Amino acid sequence: MATGTKRDYYDVLEVSRGAEVDEIKKAYRRLAVKYHPDKNPGNPEAEERFKEASEAYAVLSDPEKRARYDRFGHQAIGGEGFTGFDSEVFVDFADILGDLFGLGDLFGTRRRSDPSRPRRGSDLRYTMSITLEEAATGIERKIRVPRLEACGACSGSGVEPGTSPETCPACGGRGQVAFRRGFLTVAQTCTRCGGRGKVVQHPCKACGGRGRVEREVNLEVRIPPGVDSGVRLRLNGEGEAGVLGGRSGDLYVVVAVEPHELFERQGPDLHLVRPISVYQAILGDRTTLKTVLDEEKELEIPAGAQPGQVLRVRGAGMPQLNSRGRGDLYVHLDVKIPTSMSTEEHQLIQRAAELAGDDLAPDEGFLQRLKRKLANEG
Ligand SMILES: [Zn+2]
Ligand SMILES: [Zn+2]
């Protein structure tokens, strides 16, 4: 998409740069009603204005995209993280315009009364399940996608090779029929040919005139490091083929990260339960642990470590999506009390116990912590 010739989004919607969301919504609604393709059949300029307004609205109604646009202009929008419309935006359009035009997708996948008009192909959704390690390193994976592709026999036209569409008998090829209403002569789009002026008398035998056939394709998908469940990656134009020259839909790969047996993820941070001996807890220890990226990190257990104490290893968590940063690793200490000991060990512990005495003052802090924990869980 050329960005050099694009009009300023605020100019397109005829609002000031400081306009509130409501104002933007109202402005878009007004323009959308005026230029909607259903109201302006066969008027390419209106269609262009409608698309332009829709695009401006998609950006300016989203605080994040709007902020980026305010800072960087159109360049910001072609870049990372935003590649145009997405289906969330479609939902917004439907919300705004649904009561005016009837619910449905305004950008072509809705069934129109006119079957001979170019329609955009459907978007496809593919859920990809990956491990936490794969989410941390990022991966490339081949997937098989069944989808509708343009028919090879008729190149998607739906017309039997060797024949061509014929002049519409209803309108004589003009695409419009005139009728009188009172004093006025009104031109209306021809319903037989949908305004195209031609009708297909010999549909393609390979695809039954639909112009598309079902086929399975192999695609290579690159998953960047740091993805989390629910992240959607858009593969432009890899959805279903459009109809009669309409453009292809997009493929959305939705990531699902499987639970891990050791690590629990919390955004960019990871949590890990680490069993330690009672001696390590009493005396302290310098040991190591493995991160999700299989790096060896030093873990310093302080002398007098308590059961359940949490140690933070900075920068040992998940890589962050689209950034060099990394989350932290929280290590929850699980102090193991030995259940059997050698005689000598037992004697030494007994001796230590005698030296320490058995008077432990009641620990108010522990009780308070317990109460807080129960209250939080309740
Ligand atoms: Zn065909
Ligand atoms: Zn016609």
Which bound ligand lies closest to the C-alpha atom of 191?
2
CA of 155 to the centre of ligand 1 (A): 7
Query: 311: closest CA among 287, 293, 333?
Result: 333
Q: Across the chain, what does the average pLDDT equal?
A: 83
- The answer to the question of residue 171 being in a domain is no
pLDDT of the residue at 95: 41
pLDDT of the residue at 308: 94
Q: Are residues 126 and 225 in the same domain?
A: yes
- The answer to the question of residue 12 being in a domain is yes
CA of 163 to the centre of ligand 2 (A): 19
CA of 193 to the centre of ligand 2 (A): 4
CA of 115 to the centre of ligand 1 (A): 16
pLDDT tens digits, 167-205: 999 889 888 887 776 666 777 888 888 888 888 889 999
Q: Are residues 325 and 366 in the same domain?
A: yes
Which bound ligand lies closest to the C-alpha atom of 169?
2
Which bound ligand lies closest to the C-alpha atom of 176?
2
pLDDT of the residue at 377: 73
On whether the CB atoms of residues 268 and 325 are closer than 8 A, the answer is yes
Q: What is the mean pLDDT of residues 293-301?
A: 96
Beta bridge partners of 139: 223
Which bound ligand lies closest to the C-alpha atom of 148?
1
At which of 236, 259, 282 does a domain end?
259
Which bound ligand lies closest to the C-alpha atom of 167?
2
Q: Are residues 48 and 77 in the same domain?
A: yes
At which of 90, 107, 124 does a domain end?
107
- Which residues have their alpha-adjacent CB atom under 5 A from ion ligand 2? 168, 170-171, 190, 192-193
Residue 152 tokens, joined: 């090879």
Residue 231 tokens, joined: 């992240």
Give the integer Cα–Cα distance in Å for 212 and 241.
7
Which bound ligand lies closest to the C-alpha atom of 208?
1
Statement: residue 369 has pLDDT above 60? yes
**Gyration radius of the chain over CA positions:** 32
- The answer to the question of residue 192 being in a domain is no
pLDDT tens digits, 257-277: 999 999 999 999 999 999 999
Measured at the CA of 352, the angle between CA 351 and CA 356, to 5 degrees, comes to: 120
Number of structural domains the chain divides into: 3
**Strand-pair category, 176-181 with 184-189:** antiparallel
Give the integer Cα–Cα distance in Å for 313 and 310.
10
pLDDT of the residue at 194: 80
Q: If you ran DSSP here, which 8-state letter would residue 257 be given?
A: E
CA of 114 to the centre of ligand 2 (A): 11
The residue range of the domain holding 140 is: 113-165+200-259
Q: Are residues 83 and 65 in the same domain?
A: yes
Which bound ligand lies closest to the C-alpha atom of 154?
1
Asked whether the CA dihedral 127, 97, 89, 230 is positive or negative, the reply is negative
Q: Are residues 60 and 128 in the same domain?
A: no
Q: Are residues 52 and 95 in the same domain?
A: yes
- Position with higher pLDDT, 47 vs 303: 303
Find the CATH number of the domain harbouring 310.
2.60.260.20
CA of 40 to the centre of ligand 2 (A): 17
Q: Are residues 292 and 220 in the same domain?
A: no
pLDDT tens digits, 98-118: 333 333 333 333 334 455 567
